[in-house]
Amino acid sequence: MEKEVLAILENISGEDLSNQMDDNYFDNGLMDSMATVDLVLALQDKFGINVPVSEFDRSKWDTPNKVIERVKELADN
């Protein structure tokens, strides 16, 4: 799952984030609100998870490690 998430993040951000697992990609200027929508849609499509916009908290999705953790949590439900 980690490799798939990193591939999605690289596709959207244009950068390999595998060496920046705890770096905030919003603060680094690699992602913006439009990229976030792309990320959520790609994750939902790839992993069959549901990420309700009403429950989306950017601070819980701002690093590769956090994205992987959230996807695992949502996939287990």
Intervals of the chain under pLDDT 50: none
Q: What is the pLDDT of residue 55?
A: 75
Where are the domains positioned within the chain? Answer: 2-76
Q: How far apart (Å, rounded) are the C-alpha atoms in residues 51 and 71?
A: 9
Residue 28: DSSP 8-state = T
Q: How far apart (Å, rounded) are the C-alpha atoms in residues 60 and 69?
A: 9
Q: How far is CA 39 from the centre of its chain?
A: 6
Say what the alpha-carbon torsion angle 52, 54, 59, 65 is, to the nearest 10 degrees: -10
Query: pLDDT for 64-74, tens place per residue?
Result: 999 999 999 98
Q: How far is CA 46 from the centre of its chain?
A: 12
Task: Tell which CATH architecture fits domain 2-76.
Answer: Orthogonal Bundle (1.10)
Quote the pTM value: 0.90
Q: What is the pLDDT of residue 42?
A: 96
| Single-letter residue type at 64 | P
